[in-house]
Amino acid sequence: MDHAPAALSAASLLQLIWLASPALPVGGFSYSEGLEAGIEWAGIGNEKQAADWLADQLHLSLARADLAIVAQAVPAWRSGDLSRIGTLNDWVFQTRESSEFLLQTQQMGRSFVEWLKLHHDDAAQVFDKLPASYPVAFAFAASRTDASAHDACLAFAFGWAENMTAAAVKAVPLGQSAGQRMLARLASEIPMAVRHALQLSDDDRQAFSPMLAVLSSRHESQYSRLFRS
């Protein structure tokens, strides 16, 4: 696994920024990942509570699962190890703890692949028999740059942070300045989360966030909601 960050070319840096953008047509903006249910049932009602919740989710959920998958999938894509890619992809699908979380990674992965087909000639063939999860599809795009797995994880995590901060601003609700403070906190903690993700082996990866899973399940029948999860 390529742990050490390397200097990026301008083209690769811009590509990573593009991949992390909430404007990418994959639907990330439409999910709150249990946060909306947390506002109703877990007492998330102000900036500090929302910031603490997202920081915990970054370290306890994202870093241990999706970021670790991105870290391992980037070198696997580069080496053409499709068996390894299939194993990582299956793990994502098998460890989603609610139907909403499963549908999210399926939908975002499918949308990402459709976008990839417009920019990478081999994407259609590669994903013809692989219904890709979102982190595995993201890793494919990152592997086509000269970015390290470390840089790819930073981009993936920041894209997640932007979407989740926007969800908190809308759903709590909070002001834009509060959202920027929350995003600044997440940005300061992302490097630590990425370092942790890069150290995880297959046996160390986990997707065990019981409270988050319960809230995601309750969100399925939440009376009034803005988000798909």
Handedness of CA 160, 39, 206, 83 (dihedral sign): negative
The pTM score is: 0.93
In a domain, 20, yes or no: no
pLDDT in tens, 173-222: 999 999 999 999 999 999 999 999 999 999 999 998 999 999 988 887 76
Residue-level pLDDT at 5:
55
Structure confidence at residue 54 (pLDDT): 98
Is 10 domain-assigned? no
Looking at residue 221, what is its pLDDT? 74
Cα-based angle 156, 173, 104 (whole degrees, multiple of 5): 35
All residue ranges of the chain with pLDDT < 50 are 1-2
Question: Measuring CA to CA, which residue among 162, 164, 152, 165 is closest to residue 197?
Answer: 152
Q: What CATH number should be reported for the domain holding residue 141?
A: 1.10.4190.10
| Structural domain contains residue 175 | yes
Domain assignment present for residue 193? The answer is yes
Residue 37 falls inside a structural domain: no
- Can you give the pLDDT at residue 28? 84
> Are 172 and 44 in contact, with CB atoms under 8 Å apart?
yes
Q: What is the spatial distance between Cα 16 and Cα 12, in angstroms, rounded to a whole number? A: 6
Count the domains in the chain.
Answer: 1
148 domain-assigned: yes
Domain of residue 104, residue span:
47-219
The answer as to whether 8 is a domain residue is no
In sign, the C-alpha dihedral spanning 50, 55, 58, 60 is negative
Note the pLDDT of residue 138. Answer: 97
Residue 204's pLDDT is what?
A: 97
